[in-house]
A and B are shown apart, each in its own frame.
Chain A
Amino acid sequence: MSRASRGDAERPARLSVRKTYKLFIGGAFPRSESGRAYAVSSTKGDFLANASRASRKDARDAVAAARKAFPGWSGATPYNRGQILYRVAEMLEGRRAQFAAELDGVPSKKAGELVDAAVDRLVWYAGWSDKIGAVRGAANPVAGPYFNLSSPEPTGVVAVIAPDEPLLGLVSVIAPAIVTGNTCVVVASERAPLPSITLAEVLATSDLPGGVVNILTGFTGELAPWLASHMDVNAIDLTGVTDPDLARRCEGDAAENLKRVLRPKPSDWSEEPDLTRMTAFLETKTVWHPIGV
Chain B
Amino acid sequence: MFEYAPAPESRDVVDIKPSYDLFINGEWVESLGYERIKTVDPASEEILSEVAHATEADVDRAVQAARKAYDEVWGVLPGRERAKYLFRIARIIQERARELAVLETLDNGKPIRESRDVDIPLVAAHFFYYAGWADKLKYAGFGERPRPLGVAAQVIPWNFPLLMLAWKIAPALACGNTVVLKPAETTPLTALAFAEICRQADLPPGVVNIVTGAGDTGSALVRHPDVDKVAFTGSTEVGRLIARQVAGTGKRLTLELGGKAANIVFDDAAVDQAVEGIVNGIFFNQGHVCCAGSRLLVQESAATAVLDALKRRMATLRLGDPLDKNTDIGAINSAAQLAKIRELSDAGEAEGAERWAPACPLPERGYWFPPTVFTGVAQSHRIAREEIFGPVLSVLTFRTPAEAVEKANNTPYGLSAGIWTEKGSRILWMADRLRAGVVWANTFNRFDPASPFGGYKESGYGREGGVHGLEAYLDV
Question: Is the beta-carbon distance between A142 and B457 smaller than 8 angstroms?
Answer: no
Give Cα A255 to B457, complex, Å. 11
Question: Is the beta-carbon distance between A284 and B247 smaller than 8 angstroms?
Answer: no
The B418-476 residues at the A interface (CB cut-off 8 A) are 427, 431, 436-443, 446, 448, 450-454, 456-461, 463, 466-468, 471, 476
Output the least CB separation between A49 and chain B (Å).
35
- Interface stretch, picked from A37-45, A58-66, A116-124, A257-265, is A257-265
Cβ of A150 under 8 Å from chain B: yes
Q: Which residues of B contact A263 (CB under 8 A)?
A: 250
Most chain A beta-carbon neighbours within 10 Å: one of B257, B442, B454, B468:
B468
- Interface stretch, picked from B55-63, B238-246, B385-393, is B238-246
Output the least CB separation between A9 and chain B (Å).
66
Q: Which residues of B contact A144 (CB under 8 A)?
A: 446, 448
Q: Which residues of B contact A155 (CB under 8 A)?
A: 456
Q: Which residues of B contact A97 (CB under 8 A)?
A: none
Cβ of B152 under 8 Å from chain A: no
Given A258-B458, A288-B451: A146 touches B247 (CB 8 Å cut-off): no
Cβ of A254 under 8 Å from chain B: yes
Output the least CB separation between B118 and chain A (Å).
12
One digit per residue, 1 when the CB lies within 8 angstroms of any chain A CB and 0 when it does not, for chain B 113-139 equals: 000000000000100000000000000
Q: Which of A142, A234, A248, A252 contacts B451 (CB 8 A)?
A: A142
Q: Which residues of A contact B8 (CB under 8 A)?
A: none
- Interface stretch, picked from A11-19, A98-106, A133-141, A166-174, is A133-141
Q: Which of A244, A249, A290 contacts B443 (CB 8 A)?
A: A290
Question: Is the beta-carbon distance between A140 and B446 smaller than 8 angstroms?
Answer: no
Give Cα A288 to B452, complex, Å. 11
> From B439, which residue of chain A is reached at the shortest CB distance?
A287
Give Cα A141 to B456, complex, Å. 23
The A207-266 residues at the B interface (CB cut-off 8 A) are 234, 244, 247-249, 251-252, 254-258, 260, 263
Q: Which residues of A contact B456 (CB under 8 A)?
A: 155, 283, 285
Question: Is the beta-carbon distance between B457 and A234 smaller than 8 angstroms?
Answer: yes
Give Cα A290 to B246, complex, Å. 40
Most chain B beta-carbon neighbours within 10 Å: one of A136, A141, A148, A283:
A283
Cβ of A6 under 8 Å from chain B: no
> From B273, which residue of chain A is reached at the shortest CB distance?
A290
Give Cα A127 to B446, complex, Å. 35
One digit per residue, 1 when the CB lies within 8 angstroms of any chain A CB and 0 when it does not, for chain B 236-266 equals: 1001110110111010000101000000000
Given A155-B456, A248-B248, A255-B244: A286 touches B451 (CB 8 Å cut-off): yes
Output the least CB separation between B70 and chain A (Å).
22
Give Cα A284 to B241, complex, Å. 24
The A140-172 residues at the B interface (CB cut-off 8 A) are 140-144, 146, 148, 150, 155-156
Question: Is the beta-carbon distance between B450 and A141 smaller than 8 angstroms?
Answer: yes
Question: Is the beta-carbon distance between B438 and A286 smaller than 8 angstroms?
Answer: yes
Q: Which of B246, B257, B443 contacts A288 (CB 8 A)?
A: B443
Given A138-B467, A138-B468: A288 touches B244 (CB 8 Å cut-off): no
Q: How many chain-B residues does the 8 Å CB contact rule pick out?
A: 44
Q: A-B contact count, CB below 8 Å?
A: 111
Cβ of B18 under 8 Å from chain A: no
Output the least CB separation between A17 and chain B (Å).
47
Cβ of B204 under 8 Å from chain A: no
Give Cα A170 to B147, complex, Å. 29
Q: Which residues of A contact B461 (CB under 8 A)?
A: 258, 260
Given A148-B448, A248-B248, A257-B458: A287 touches B431 (CB 8 Å cut-off): yes
Output the least CB separation between B370 and chain A (Å).
29
Q: Which of A135, A138, A251 contacts B247 (CB 8 A)?
A: A251
Q: Which residues of A contact B442 (CB under 8 A)?
A: 289-290
Q: Which residues of B contact A267 (CB under 8 A)?
A: none
Q: Which of B257, B439, B459, B476 contacts A286 (CB 8 A)?
A: B439
Cβ of A2 under 8 Å from chain B: no
Question: Is the beta-carbon distance between B248 and A257 smaller than 8 angstroms?
Answer: no
Q: Which residues of A contact B241 (CB under 8 A)?
A: 255
Give Cα A146 to B447, complex, Å. 11
Q: Which of A138, A140, A290 contacts B448 (CB 8 A)?
A: A140
Question: Is the beta-carbon distance between B250 and A286 smaller than 8 angstroms?
Answer: no
Given A142-B451, A247-B248, A248-B248: A285 touches B468 (CB 8 Å cut-off): no
> From A260, which residue of chain B is reached at the shortest CB distance?
B461
Q: Which residues of A contact B460 (CB under 8 A)?
A: 258
Give Cα A141 to B467, complex, Å. 11
Most chain B beta-carbon neighbours within 10 Å: one of A135, A141, A255, A290:
A255
Give Cα A19 to B448, complex, Å. 59
Q: Which residues of B contact A257 (CB under 8 A)?
A: 412, 457-458
Q: Which residues of B contact A146 (CB under 8 A)?
A: 443, 446, 448
> From A152, which residue of chain B is reached at the shortest CB distance?
B468
Question: Is the beta-carbon distance between B240 and A256 smaller than 8 angstroms?
Answer: yes
Give Cα A283 to B239, complex, Å. 18
Question: Is the beta-carbon distance between B476 and A276 smaller than 8 angstroms?
Answer: yes
Output the least CB separation between B446 and chain A (Å).
5
Give Cα A141 to B458, complex, Å. 28
Question: Is the beta-carbon distance between B452 and A286 smaller than 8 angstroms?
Answer: yes
Output the least CB separation between A158 and chain B (Å).
13
Question: Is the beta-carbon distance between A258 and B443 smaller than 8 angstroms?
Answer: no
Q: Which of B248, B255, B431, B450 contacts A140 (CB 8 A)?
A: B450
Q: Which residues of B contact A141 (CB under 8 A)?
A: 450
Q: Which residues of B contact A143 (CB under 8 A)?
A: 125, 448, 450
Output the least CB separation between B139 and chain A (Å).
13
> From A280, which residue of chain B is reached at the shortest CB distance?
B461
Output the least CB separation between A229 and chain B (Å).
12
Question: Is the beta-carbon distance between B437 and A283 smaller than 8 angstroms?
Answer: yes
Give Cα A234 to B467, complex, Å. 24
Q: Which residues of A contact B255 (CB under 8 A)?
A: 258
Given A155-B456, A263-B250: A288 touches B446 (CB 8 Å cut-off): yes
Give Cα A276 to B212, complex, Å. 36
A-B contact pairs, 24 of them (CB 8 A): A138-B466, A138-B467, A140-B451, A142-B448, A143-B125, A144-B446, A146-B448, A254-B247, A255-B241, A256-B240, A258-B236, A258-B239, A258-B243, A276-B476, A279-B471, A283-B437, A284-B452, A284-B463, A285-B439, A287-B431, A288-B438, A288-B439, A288-B446, A290-B443
Q: Which 3 A-B pairs have the closest CB atoms?
A: A248-B248, A255-B243, A251-B247
